[in-house]
Amino acid sequence: MKNPPIGVFDSGVGGLTVLKEIQRALPGESTLYLGDSRRAPYGSLPPDRIIRFTMEAMDYLHVTGVKAVVIACNSATSVALEAAKLRLDVPVLGVIDPTARRVAVGASSGIGVIGTEATIRSGAYARAIKQINPEARVVQQACPALAGLVEQGDLDGVPTALAIATYLMPILEARVGTLVLGCTHYPFLRSAIQRILGEGVRLVESGPPLAADLLEMMDSGRLARAAGGVPVHRLTTTGDAGSFQRLASMLWPGEALKIEEVDIAVTNDLSPEPAPQPLFFPAS
């Protein structure tokens, strides 16, 4: 393939917020988005199942043909990034390190992190931030219901508003100056989160810092798109295309989006299994 796309993977629709920033930063690049909405959200799953599902996504992107992969899912990044790097022979980026670097320097009033159970339990953000700034005060809060509510399209209903208010109470009490939206679904709820915290708290999403890192990697690794042709953007989901499109249309209003339904599962059961051994695919 002369100009293979950048693969972007998330457990559902959340990674679309990262894809939007990637397309803004690299307008000449083709993209292939894969959202595993049928099995979303990943955040409440045990690590071995997150790894298994992520590896199935990596296999799908490999077979389809991509030149780099972005894991636009904090839960998958926190437990499966290293396995994904071993499994593929193309660069694989996660969302946690770029975001941590964005907030770690100069954070004098505390950094809050909200995310799924898997992300918060892993401690990945706290470790990444403190590696850069050992003196940083990091306050983490798991928000188990939020990603699922976004997947259901409930962005401003009473259950969502109550959940946000409840989850943010420890963040308010900690008086942080910066809050990391440590799940790529949460930018869909940005306005509601900002209303509760007030304008004095800076909200940081994963999309812009990840896109900046990807742009630098593409330039330094000579992976930029060859001249000629028009970039192609594909949106695929393992779930319902109609539900997916309703949320995608919020990020690309007025555009005629075509959503493809795909099946990436090796098995259709959701029972726990041992995590697959990472495999290395030779270059095709």
143 catalytically annotated? no
Distance CA 129, CA 114 (A): 14
Token pair recorded at residue 113: 């992190």
73 catalytically annotated? yes
Token pair recorded at residue 217: 């990697």
Fill in the DSSP letter of residue 89: S
The catalytic position among 107, 183, 192, 218 is 183
Fill in the DSSP letter of residue 149: H
Range list of β-strands (E), 72-218: 92-94, 111-115, 138-142, 178-181, 202-204
The number of residues making up the chain comes to 284
Fill in the DSSP letter of residue 234: E
Residue that the structure tokens 């306005």 belong to: 191
Q: Which amino acid is at 77?
A: T
Tell me if residue 136 falls in helix, strand or coil: coil
The catalytic position among 73, 79, 83, 88 is 73
Distance CA 90, CA 283 (A): 8
Query: Quick check: 3 and 225 in contact, CB under 8 A?
Result: yes
Q: In terms of Cα–Cα distance, which of 163, 190, 174 is closest to 109?
A: 174
Is 161 buried (19+), middle (13-18) or exposed (0-12) by CB count in 10 A?
middle
- List, by residue number, the catalytic residues: 73, 183
